[in-house]
Amino acid sequence: MEICVHIWCIMNKKKITAGGGLVTNESGELLMIYRRSKWDLPKGKLDAGETIEECALREVREETGLTHLTLGKLVDISYHEYFDTYLSEEIIKETHWFLMKAEGNQELVPQTEEDITAIKWVSGKTLDACLADSFQNIVDTVRKAGLV
């Protein structure tokens, strides 16, 4: 019975599809953004008429200021639920995560209108610290990509 109730709840929530990137630089560091008191990866909603790959690249560019990116393979599709206060409804977000490479030494510009207050390249203990202050689905995605 509990499984049926859970499935019914999921099926009756609005689903949003999104694309995002696990962006690495030439030094092998991962790009992370700081948004709403958590370390995160750049991602955003799919616009009408675009492919999920186009969405992922556009969102990474908009949220980070990076312009020269190479799209890699799809590494994960994650799901998380949240309450959208603007829409006043429960949402299930399905995010398609792609590996990406940033070329050269590009300026990082946080998209402040999306509440991004910091962006940094991380590896080693700094990456571990960021992941300790992140969401579990982000940690899982970074692991699936083989970046930790």
Q: Determine the pLDDT at residue 7.
A: 45
- pTM across the whole model: 0.88
Q: Please give the domain boundaries of the chain with CATH numbers for all domains.
A: 2-144 (3.90.79.10)
Query: Which helix (DSSP H) or strand (DSSP E) does residue 96 occupy?
Result: strand 89-102
Q: Which residues, including other chains, have CB under 8 Å from residue 22's CB and lie 6 or more apart?
A: 30, 41, 75, 97, 98, 99, 100, 141, 142, 145, 147
Q: Please, what are the averages of pLDDT over each run of 10 residues along the chain (148 residues)? A: 44 89 97 97 97 98 97 96 84 96 96 96 97 97 95
* Residue in the structure block whose two tokens are 């946080």: 110
From residue 85, alpha-carbon distances to 46, 72, 89, 96, 135 in Å are: 19, 34, 7, 23, 20
Amino acid at 79: Y
Q: Determine the pLDDT at residue 109.
A: 97
Q: Determine the pLDDT at residue 85.
A: 81
Q: Determine the pLDDT at residue 124.
A: 96
Q: Which residues, including other chains, have CB under 8 Å from residue 134's CB and lie 6 or more apart?
A: 32, 38, 39, 40
Q: Determine the pLDDT at residue 11.
A: 60
Q: Determine the pLDDT at residue 2.
A: 47
